[in-house]
């Protein structure tokens, strides 16, 4: 026992958390006592004796858990045992609950954790839909309702969609580029462990006096600066989630730039790698803005600063500028990795190279550049400078062009292919194309100022974001999970259950989210617990569809759990794909490769006899294999 307490792990983590909390609490009380203030400040925007421990306790936990042991030893000049891989790889199920530096373990930790948050966010969504099934207040009071949709959005965005892409890429990307791990394995593990902390902080706000944060996931000032204590939990939670996101993105950037296998020049990178390169550029550039915005709100709340206090010279609208300077790129952070997944899946299952590969990669970069110049389209009716509107409209609508290139190129990939529909991942990819086109079109409509003036803050917006985030991002997440499930677990999932999940999800998505366009245009605002009775029938229909959509997700969870345990063995390469991750065993060995592979061609050379993407270690004389000529067949016009 005494030994266990000294070793990094859960015991020491728990002790660290208690000590961290005590330190933060004691610091606040001591400083207030010295200053002659009342020991406890319990205005609803105050509670420093809660907020400071909320920040110090997680750090105490991380210290105890072992997140900083190596760095501290190194900084203190102690021997760091460089070849100690005791915290690397999973040999028992308990290893998944440790501070583990293996990117494959971290990938699975991410995916499983975020799927748990997906279920929590889904339950919150169903509570919302239960309240909205009939006009009037039935299930929850209005302020509780505001807390429900705020936490629903935050859980889905910060704890599910953004991190699950980081998780999938964590698992797959180093394998794809022929790297033994991520560039910074310890930073990678720290990024993951910040995530459940963020989740606990966000959900912990339900226990705060005054209830969960209820100013929406956008947290507009001054509603947020005067809101009850839960809002501070939101401000702090965003810091943990944001730090996790930024550290992972840095890790991806360094890994992609410096750790590609010999021969993998940029034009030989799979599009998933391009997609994560683009996403990481967005994350490192934009996420600090949301972190900053939430610090400013927190300072207004607790330290009495006046960033957004209009009576003290603060500027209310500047919050929205800073917030959306992150949160518009954030929608691409939630979409670009999905684009990468779709490219991999469609190419593999139609047995054909991705059509227009270079333009596909450039389109991603184009989206990155454009997405930094469109944020104010969320503010067309916000009362900002009116001259800013038209330039923002034009850049917003131009983003449809690179996005359109991607849609058309995926369709072009299907033409003259050999399309296999047995895999659920392919079904989700094809459904994604159709659903995402609808979400993209409503996005262009929202970019047009006169239409946006009418539909801003209505259910049309709710319909749009759910079409792009559920019909877009979540479909690609499902495609990715089904696609790489055999690689991650070494087993096949049940395709029949996969099909049921697929059809239920597609039908449920369309039934739940299409009518929202109509009621929004017709006059139903968003974020309301109660609404005009004329929208009662449609809302009932939407609620029933949402429950259907929620129910079929249980099939997915069942399929994943049972197949992981009992599914038939998958073999190394069940989809006969070319990229490197499929050339190693399933699941891959702890250090991925005995010998780093050599990349000798593009990743999608289907249909060219003898073409190879990579030559694995142990194979004979890579130099002697001729580099295959890229085929120059053009499609008939």
Residues from 452 through 471 that contact other proteins (CB under 8 A): 453-454, 456-458
Collapse the DSSP code of 72 into the 3-class scheme (helix H, G, I; strand E, B; otherwise coil) and give the result: helix
Contact between 253 and other proteins per CB under 8 A: no
DSSP symbol at 458: B
Q: How far apart are CA 622 and CA 616, in angstroms?
A: 9
Contact between 401 and other proteins per CB under 8 A: yes
Residue owning tokens 């600090």: 288
Collapse the DSSP code of 137 into the 3-class scheme (helix H, G, I; strand E, B; otherwise coil) and give the result: coil
Q: x-or-dash pattern for other proteins, window 165-204, by CB under 8 A?
A: ----------------------------------------
Residue owning tokens 């696609």: 483
Please say whether the beta carbons of 334 and 474 come within 8 A.
no
Torsion from C-alpha of 188, 600, 402, 337, nearest 10 degrees:
-20
Q: What is the DSSP string of 551-585?
A: HHHHHHHHHHHHHHHHPPB--S-TT---SGGGGS-
Q: Which of 77, 79, 82, 450 binds other proteins (CB under 8 A)?
A: 450
Nearer to other proteins, 5 or 141 (CB): 141
Shortest distance in whole angstroms from residue 477 CB to other proteins: 21
Q: x-or-dash pattern for other proteins, window 144-163, by CB under 8 A?
A: --x-----------------
Q: Which residues, 6 or more positions from 144, have their beta carbon under 8 angstroms from its beta carbon? A: 211
Q: x-or-dash pattern for other proteins, window 348-387, by CB under 8 A?
A: --xxxx-xxxxx---------------------xxx-x-x
Nearer to other proteins, 365 or 521 (CB): 521
User: What would the two tokens of residue 562 be?
Assistant: 């049972």
Scan residues 316-355 and list those touching other proteins (CB under 8 A): 316-317, 350-353, 355
Smallest CA-to-CA distance from 435 within 525, 505, 341, 366 is with 505
Q: What is the DSSP string of 170-210?
A: HHHHHHHTT-SS-S-HHHHHHHHHHHHHHHHHHHHGGGSTT
From 198-206, 298-306, 429-437, 497-505, give the range in contact with other proteins by CB under 8 A.
429-437
Contact between 222 and other proteins per CB under 8 A: yes
Shortest distance in whole angstroms from residue 279 CB to other proteins: 22
From 94-102, 173-181, 431-439, 470-478, give the range in contact with other proteins by CB under 8 A.
431-439
Q: What is the CA radius of gyration of the chain?
A: 25
Nearer to other proteins, 75 or 401 (CB): 401
Q: How far apart are CA 445 and CA 549, in angstroms?
A: 26
Shortest distance in whole angstroms from residue 434 CB to other proteins: 7
Q: How far apart are CA 415 and CA 149, in angstroms?
A: 42
Scan residues 481-520 and list those touching other proteins (CB under 8 A): 518
Q: How far apart are CA 261 and CA 264, in angstroms?
A: 6
Contact between 421 and other proteins per CB under 8 A: yes
Q: How far apart are CA 581 and CA 172, in angstroms?
A: 7
From 37-45, 267-275, 332-340, 440-448, give the range in contact with other proteins by CB under 8 A.
440-448
How many residues interact with other proteins (rule CB under 8 A)?
98
Q: Which of 292, 412, 536, 622 binds other proteins (CB under 8 A)?
A: 412
Shortest distance in whole angstroms from residue 461 CB to other proteins: 10
Nearer to other proteins, 171 or 217 (CB): 217
């Amino acid at each position: 026992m005494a030994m266990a307490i000294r070793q990094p792990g859960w015991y020491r983590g728990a002790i660290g958390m208690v000590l961290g909390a005590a330190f933060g609490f004691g610091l606040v009380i001591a400083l207030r006592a010295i200053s002659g203030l009342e020991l406890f400040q319990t205005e609803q925007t105050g509670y420093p004796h809660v907020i400071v421990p909320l920040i110090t306790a997680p750090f105490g936990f991380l210290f105890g858990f072992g997140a900083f042991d190596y760095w501290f030893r190194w900084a203190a000049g102690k021997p760091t045992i460089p070849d100690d891989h005791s915290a690397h790889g999973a040999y028992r199920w308990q290893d998944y609950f440790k501070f583990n530096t293996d990117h494959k373990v971290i990938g699975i930790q991410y995916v499983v954790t975020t799927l748990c948050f997906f279920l929590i966010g889904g339950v919150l969504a169903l509570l919302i839909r239960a309240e909205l099934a009939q006009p009037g207040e039935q299930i929850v009071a209005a302020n509780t309702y505001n807390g429900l949709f705020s936490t629903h959005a935050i859980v889905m965005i910060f704890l599910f969609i953004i991190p699950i892409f980081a998780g999938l890429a964590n698992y797959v990307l180093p394998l794809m580029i022929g790297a033994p791990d991520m560039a910074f394995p310890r930073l990678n593990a720290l990024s993951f462990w910040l995530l459940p902390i963020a989740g606990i902080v966000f959900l912990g706000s339900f226990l705060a006096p005054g209830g969960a944060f209820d100013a929406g996931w956008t947290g507009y000032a001054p509603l947020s600066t005067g809101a009850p204590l839960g809002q501070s939990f939101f401000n702090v939670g965003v810091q943990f989630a944001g730090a996790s996101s930024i550290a992972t993105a840095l890790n991806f950037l360094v890994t992609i730039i410096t750790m590609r296998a010999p021969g993998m020049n940029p034009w030989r990178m799979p599009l998933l790698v391009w997609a994560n390169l683009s996403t990481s550029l967005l994350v490192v550039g934009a996420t600090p803005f949301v972190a900053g915005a939430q610090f400013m709100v927190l300072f207004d709340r607790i330290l009495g600063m006046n960033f957004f206090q209009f009576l003290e010279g603060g500027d209310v609208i500047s919050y929205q500028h800073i917030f959306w300077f992150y949160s518009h790129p954030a929608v691409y952070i939630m979409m670009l990795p999905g684009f990468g997944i779709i490219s991999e899946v469609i190419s593999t299952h139609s047995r054909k190279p991705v059509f227009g590969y270079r333009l596909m990669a450039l389109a991603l970069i184009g989206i990155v550049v454009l997405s930094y110049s469109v944020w104010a389209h969320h503010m067309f009716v916000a009362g900002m400078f009116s001259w800013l509107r038209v330039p923002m409209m034009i850049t917003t609508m131009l983003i449809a062009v690179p996005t359109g290139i991607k849609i058309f190129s995926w369709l072009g990939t299907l033409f003259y292919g050999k399309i296999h529909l047995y895999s659920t991942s392919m079904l989700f990819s094809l459904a994604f194309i159709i659903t995402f086109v609808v979400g993209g079109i409503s996005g262009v409509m929202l970019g047009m100022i006169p239409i946006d003036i009418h539909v801003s803050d209505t259910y049309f917006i709710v319909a749009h974001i759910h079409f792009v985030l559920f019909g877009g991002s979540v479909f690609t997440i499902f495609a990715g999970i089904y696609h790489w499930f055999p690689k991650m677990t070494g087993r096949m999932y049940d395709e029949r259950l996969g099909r049921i999940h697929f059809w239920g999800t597609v039908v449920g998505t369309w039934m739940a989210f299409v009518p929202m366009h109509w009621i929004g245009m017709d006059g139903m605002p968003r974020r309301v617990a109660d609404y005009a009775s004329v929208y009662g029938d449609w809302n009932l229909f939407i609620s029933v569809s949402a429950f259907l959509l929620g129910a079929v997700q249980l099939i997915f969870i069942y399929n994943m759990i049972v197949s992981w345990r009992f599914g038939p063995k998958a073999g190394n390469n069940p989809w006969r794909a070319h990229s490197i991750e499929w050339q190693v065993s399933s699941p891959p060995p702890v250090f991925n490769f005995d010998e780093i592979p050599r990349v000798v061609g593009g990743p999608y050379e289907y249909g060219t006899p003898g073409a190879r993407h990579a030559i694995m270690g142990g194979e004979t004389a890579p130099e002697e294999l001729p580099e295959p000529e890229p085929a120059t067949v053009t499609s008939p016009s």
